[in-house]
């Protein structure tokens, strides 16, 4: 409507003036021109008035501005609430991770400890043989190697730790079975890793590392390095535990051979005969050999110090035996 009024005030007088300009007299022309100019001024003034802010609108704008100024606090509160929610979400996720890890562990009753790294357990009312993942202890029942050094110590330790206990079995990516039909698990008793305890005491080495079951391999290797530096258990014998297994032959080579004195000490003493009375020594006849040829011709060579015919001159190397050659 305002636009129509402006157009009317501005353009209608001009149209009337130019249409009737020739018919108007001098006064009429002046009045028409004045009217057109006045209409133009009023139109421009009205347009400026419309552009001026309305007090009510200004108040509303101020309210809006104050609302906008105050709105960050509200947004900040909302943001803090969002952060809190996110933190709870992270906590919940961590809880979910722990729950998942615990869910991967199953409880089993130990029926028998076979050796240091193998046990028999009862899972879902079924007997299963379980091999400890990522570790290897010396043998005690191997048909070829027999009882290896520290094999009995490892077996006794595992028996003491797990006999008639309820353990937790943690699976890696898969749990086997291996080529012997044994299941593969990480073993825990009283919340502690059995593999880690064997490695700490030098009763096992990190071995049989096959992808994808490598979850704790780096952790186990760090524990093994500490046992190696301390020289405990299998690491107390140089070159015994190696990458390809245990070398009992190294142990045998390093064992000191028993000395003759040791053997004589360990042998039971023989009974000694009763001492016999010694005959009264007879005076020794003086014998003289000019040289070794004479001694040999007489069948007396070699001549020992203290015997008849021995002279230092005949004993060239001064070893107490003359004419030995």
Span between the terminal Cα atoms of the chain, in Å? 155
Cα 276 to Cα 271, 280, 282, distances in angstroms: 15, 13, 18
Catalytic site residue from 139, 153, 170, 196: 139
Burial 102-134 (b: 16+ CB within 10 A, else e): eeeeeebebeebbbbbbbbbeeeeeebbbbbbb
- Find the angle CA(135)-CA(138)-CA(143) to the nearest 5 degrees: 120
Catalytic site residue from 131, 153, 168, 205: 131
- Find the angle CA(262)-CA(267)-CA(271) to the nearest 5 degrees: 135
Is the peptide bond prior to 212 cis by the omega test (within 30 degrees of 0)? Answer: yes
Q: Residue 147, exposed/middle/buried by CB under 10 A (0-12, 13-18, 19+)?
A: middle
Cα 293 to Cα 281, 290, 299, 320, 325, distances in angstroms: 29, 8, 10, 18, 10
The residue among 315, 309, 313 whose CA lies nearest residue 297 is 309
Catalytic site residue from 153, 170, 182, 196: 182
Q: Give CA–CA dist 67/85, Å, rounded.
A: 26
Cα 175 to Cα 101, 123, 180, distances in angstroms: 15, 13, 13
Whether 131 sits among the annotated catalytic residues: the reply is yes
Cβ–Cβ < 8 Å for 147, 175: no
Whether 182 sits among the annotated catalytic residues: the reply is yes
Q: Give CA–CA dist 173/226, Å, rounded.
A: 27
Cβ–Cβ < 8 Å for 309, 288: yes
Active site residues: 131, 139, 182
């Amino acid at each position: 409507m305002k636009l129509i009024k402006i157009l009317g005030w501005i353009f209608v007088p001009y149209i009337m003036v130019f249409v009737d300009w020739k018919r108007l007299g001098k006064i009429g022309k002046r009045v028409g021109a004045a009217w057109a100019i006045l209409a133009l001024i009023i139109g421009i003034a009205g347009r400026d008035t419309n552009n001026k802010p309305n007090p009510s609108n200004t108040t509303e704008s101020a309210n809006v501005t104050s609302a906008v100024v105050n709105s960050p606090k509200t947004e900040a509160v909302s943001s803090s609430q969002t952060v809190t929610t996110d933190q709870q979400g992270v906590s919940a996720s961590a809880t979910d991770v722990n729950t998942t890890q615990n869910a991967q562990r199953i409880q089993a009753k130990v029926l028998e400890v076979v050796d240091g790294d193998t046990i028999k357990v009862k899972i879902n009312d079924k007997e299963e043989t379980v091999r400890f993942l990522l570790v290897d202890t010396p043998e005690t029942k191997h048909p070829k190697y027999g009882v290896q050094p520290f094999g009995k110590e490892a077996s006794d330790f595992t028996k003491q730790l797990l006999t008639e206990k309820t353990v937790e079995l943690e699976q890696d990516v898969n749990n086997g079975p291996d080529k012997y039909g044994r299941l593969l698990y990480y073993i825990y008793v009283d919340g502690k890793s059995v593999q880690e305890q064997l490695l700490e005491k030098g009763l096992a080495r990190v071995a049989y590392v096959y992808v994808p079951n490598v979850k704790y391999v780096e952790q186990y290797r760090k524990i093994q390095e500490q046992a190696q530096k301390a020289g405990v258990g299998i690491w107390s014998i140089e070159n015994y535990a190696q990458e390809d297994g245990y070398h009992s032959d190294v142990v045998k080579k390093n064992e000191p051979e028993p000395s003759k004195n040791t053997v004589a000490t360990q042998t039971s003493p023989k009974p000694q005969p009763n001492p016999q009375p010694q005959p009264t020594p007879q005076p020794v006849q003086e014998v003289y050999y000019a040289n070794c040829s004479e001694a040999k011709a007489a069948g007396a060579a070699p001549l020992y110090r203290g015997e008849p015919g021995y002279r230092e001159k005949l004993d060239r190397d001064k070893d107490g035996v003359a004419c030995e050659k």
